[in-house]
Amino acid sequence: MIAPARVAAYNALLAVSARRADLSSAVASARSTLVDERDRALATDIATGVQRQRGLLDHLIGVFAKRPVERLDPEVVEVLRLSAYQLLRHGRVPASAVVDDAVNLTRRAGKRSAAGFVNALLRTISRQRDRLPIPPRPTAFDDRAAVLDYLSITLSHPRWLVARWYDRMGFEATEAWLNFNNAPAPLTLRANPIRLKGDSLASRLAHAGIVLRSARFAPDGFIVEAGQLTATAGIDAGSFVVQDEASQLVALLAGDRPGRFVLDTCASPGGKTTALAAAMRNEGMLIACDVRNRRMGLLRRTVGTTGATNVRLVQADARRSLPFTRRFDCVLVDAPCSGLGVLRTDPDIRWRREERDLISLSAAQREMLDHAADAVASGGRLVYATCSSEPEENEAVAAAFLSGHPEFVTVDARDVSDALPAAVVDRQGHFRTLPHVHGLDAFFGAVFRRRGVEPLN
């Protein structure tokens, strides 16, 4: 019998490679087929780990197969990836069990003729795991190709992306960033003051065996250091939101008092929406929008759970004229982007994105900003944010917006909120978090103000 966790991981990886689902959705679907929590955890680890190490795994498969993975059947590739990952990363698992399951999984996938090939290749990897043919860390940087081989293959990122980062930041920063992306992300919470203050949340979770430490930058953020959130009997689920620390900081760009009338244009899944609602003291009116039915459903659940009663949901497309006759004190555009800043959390993005995507994404982002600008009141604030690492989606979009909208001026993010640490504001006054500097995912934010008298809060 094939280990259930390996079958589930295989199904998830096949769905991701076929682009039928992103990793988080594929893993959630695979986990639902497993009864044992240990199997769920193992399937998640395998599927996520394979996506983090896919560049390295594909290199090794290609070397030992003497042909690139593109010339192998997709089903065989996924069996080899997940099995090679376990051989290299799960040292306590007997190699024979991994290889036997791989052979049986290959047959189960209808590729019986490849069973011998899979068996031989995996046994070769197992024998040579202490002397793998991978690019070493360079000691000199005069050979650009060798540097990029190490960064892209050994540290498992697309070559086009590491070339951009290397040219922009140099070797040390790029290496640190890639290692950051390849490490598991901690579970990070944001206390929801509508329900419960942060110190009370930490105290109550401690009684449930969950140990928290305060986040470094986010005022309401906590890192889970020990314990399982599934053990929170008696804790209101709406007392906290699972949200990355850098993402939590974006909501602070709206200010300590965002205003009486606030618009969140790309709101799902709702973390920033509910943070804005709390900053508004659950008063006034906060309109939260998204375009797809599924995203609206997720947003509705988040808002309902957290008890944010000042939120109204409107299904709307930010790439079109927004359906509002009144103007808002603050408008947030947390724009859909490449996601290249959150490769630690969503490692599959690195393989789904291509450099040419940046052109269409930045064009859509500029379009959203143009429509959002029409909804900003005189003296009101417009916040633009992404979880991208790339200038085309960040500084370039902000500069293009200002060039086409002389009625707006830039606001230094340091002047926006007392709660926003100066350490996450760059020399241009933009909000920016970087893995090799802050230990956080890469987020960007720019704040603009429409000329005129600022609205009273």
pLDDT (tens digit per residue) in 28-84? 999 989 988 899 999 999 999 999 999 999 999 999 999 999 999 999 999 999 999
pLDDT at 248: 95
pLDDT at 456: 57
Tell me which residue of 240, 243, 314 sits closest to 272, measured CA to CA: 243
Residue 233 has pLDDT above 70, yes or no: no
Residue written as tokens 């603050």? 330
Tell me which residue of 341, 342, 239, 304 sits closest to 24, measured CA to CA: 342
Residue written as tokens 């008890």? 307
The pLDDT confidence band at residue 230, using thresholds 50, 70 and 90, is: low
The pLDDT confidence band at residue 135, using thresholds 50, 70 and 90, is: very high
Average pLDDT in the 392-397 region?
Answer: 97
Average pLDDT in the 238-250 region?
Answer: 92
Residue 326 has pLDDT above 90, yes or no: no
Structure-derived torsion over alpha carbons of residues 31, 33, 34, 35, reported in degrees to the nearest 10? 120
| Amino acid, res. 333 | V
Separation of alpha carbons 246 and 439, rounded Å: 10
Helical segments of 266-389, H only: 271-279, 293-306, 349-352, 357-373
Residue 434 has pLDDT above 80, yes or no: yes
Residue 198 has pLDDT above 80, yes or no: no
Residue 264, helix vs strand vs coil: strand
Average pLDDT in the 389-418 region?
Answer: 95
The pLDDT confidence band at residue 91, using thresholds 50, 70 and 90, is: confident
Separation of alpha carbons 255 and 113, rounded Å: 62
Average pLDDT in the 100-112 region?
Answer: 92
Phi, then psi, of 148 in degrees rounded to 5: -70, -30
Cα 158 from chain centre: 17
The pLDDT confidence band at residue 455, using thresholds 50, 70 and 90, is: low
Phi, then psi, of 283 in degrees rounded to 5: -120, 175
DSSP code at position 442: -
Which residues form the catalytic set? Answer: 387
Percent of the chain with pLDDT over 90: 75
Separation of alpha carbons 9 and 38, rounded Å: 13
For residues 201 and 125, which has the higher predicted lDDT (pLDDT)? 125
Residue 422 has pLDDT above 90, yes or no: yes
Average pLDDT in the 390-397 region?
Answer: 97
Query: Which residues, 6+ apart, have CB-to-CB distance to 120 below 8 Å?
Result: none
DSSP calls for 174-234: HHHHHHHHTSPPPPEEEE-TTT--HHHHHHHHHHTT-EEEE-SS-TTEEEEEES-GGG-TT
Are the C-beta atoms of residues 213 and 222 closer than 8 Å to each other?
A: yes
Q: What is the mean pLDDT of the chain?
A: 92
pLDDT at 250: 96
Tell me which residue of 316, 299, 362, 312 sits closest to 335, measured CA to CA: 362
Q: Which helix (H) or strand (E) holds 444?
A: strand 443-450
Average pLDDT in the 393-421 region?
Answer: 95
Residue 234 has pLDDT above 70, yes or no: no
Residue 161: Cβ within 10 Å count: 22
Separation of alpha carbons 41 and 5, rounded Å: 8
Residue 121 has pLDDT above 70, yes or no: yes
Cα 223 from chain centre: 16
pLDDT at 325: 85
pLDDT at 156: 97
The pLDDT confidence band at residue 204, using thresholds 50, 70 and 90, is: confident
Residue 237 has pLDDT above 80, yes or no: no
Residue 316, helix vs strand vs coil: coil
Separation of alpha carbons 454 and 288, rounded Å: 22
Q: Which residues of 403-437 are buried (b: 16+ CB within 10 A; e: fewer)?
A: eebeebebbebeebbeebeeebbeeebbbbbbbbe
pLDDT at 347: 96
The pLDDT confidence band at residue 229, using thresholds 50, 70 and 90, is: confident
Average pLDDT in the 379-395 region?
Answer: 96
Separation of alpha carbons 27 and 105, rounded Å: 18
pLDDT at 140: 87
The pLDDT confidence band at residue 15, using thresholds 50, 70 and 90, is: very high
The pLDDT confidence band at residue 199, using thresholds 50, 70 and 90, is: confident
Average pLDDT in the 146-174 region?
Answer: 97
pLDDT at 227: 79
Average pLDDT in the 315-323 region?
Answer: 90
